[in-house]
Amino acid sequence: MKDSRKFVQVGTTVLTVLAWVSLALQVAVGLILLIGGGVSVPIGGVDVPARLVGLLNCLAGAIYFFMLSFFAHVVRLLLAIHAQVTKSA
């Protein structure tokens, strides 16, 4: 049981690292597109300006960060609840 708990703890750390990496990379690319501009990107047959794609990339980075971080915190909370239940039993 201790091995599976350790595995899940490592998984929460990996999720937290992925959240920060996702935020950093997507915001960096989004800012590059926002500042630099560029050619329009065809999405679904519509030409979307590169600056709008940069803004959407920053927004997506924030959303992915929130989701990954939230999931890691929920798993940590479940581990804490499990530890309390097994300690009191």
pLDDT average, residue stretch 58-85: 95
Would you state the pLDDT for residue 4?
A: 79
Q: Which two tokens stand for residue 8?
A: 């899940």
Would you state the pLDDT for residue 12?
A: 95
Displacement of CA 69 from its chain's centroid (Å): 6
Asked whether the predicted pLDDT for residue 2 surpasses 80, the reply is no
Give the pTM. 0.83
What does the pLDDT look like over 46-64, one tens digit per residue?
Answer: 999 999 999 999 999 999 9
**CA torsion sign, 86 to 83 to 8 to 72?**
positive
Report the alpha-carbon distance of residue 16 to residue 34 in Å, rounded.
27
The residue whose two tokens read 């201790």 is 2
**CA torsion sign, 4 to 2 to 74 to 28?**
negative
Would you state the pLDDT for residue 1?
A: 60
Q: Which helix (H) or strand (E) holds 46?
A: strand 46-48
What does the pLDDT look like over 19-44, one tens digit per residue?
Answer: 999 999 999 999 999 999 888 888 88
Q: Which two tokens stand for residue 57?
A: 């990339």
